Amino acid sequence: MYADWVVGALERGAYLGVLVEADGRVVAGAGLTLLDWGPTKHDPHPLRGRIVNVYTVPHLRGRGLARLAVERVLREAHDLGLRTLSLGTTEAARPMYISLGFAPYPHEMMRRE
């Protein structure tokens, strides 16, 4: 189901995926979902980005591969003119995202049905 969505989003240009390979195998990656948000007084660009699907195969974690993928996603977002990016994180990954310029944002709320 999610894989089908990603394929459609890639075809629509609403998702960018970055893969890191070693020895011909994918070992890490990150994605950028483009959200049609509309301009705001703090950000005139109509799109926002959400970083998703950051992953490194377990036996290669701690080597900077996820950081490499996220840095590439950040460059792509910059080249697209995106000024506002968000993401969800784990406690283990939080220091990496802070070092890349992200800050905790406590004002978000969610409703699910």
Distance between CA atoms of residues 89 and 66, nearest Å:
13
Instruction: Look at residue 42 in the predicted model and tell me its pLDDT.
Output: 86
- With cut-offs at 50, 70 and 90, classify the pLDDT of residue 106: confident
Can you list the domains of the chain with their CATH numbers? 2-99 (3.40.630.30)
Residue-wise pLDDT for 19-38, tens only, equals 999 999 999 999 999 999 99
Instruction: Look at residue 110 in the predicted model and tell me its pLDDT.
Output: 74
Q: What's the pTM value of the predicted model, to 2 decimals?
A: 0.89
Q: What is the mean pLDDT of the chain?
A: 93
Distance between CA atoms of residues 64 and 28, nearest Å:
10
Give the list of residues 6+ apart from residue 21 with CB closer than 8 angstroms, or none.
Answer: 27
Distance between CA atoms of residues 111 and 34, nearest Å:
21
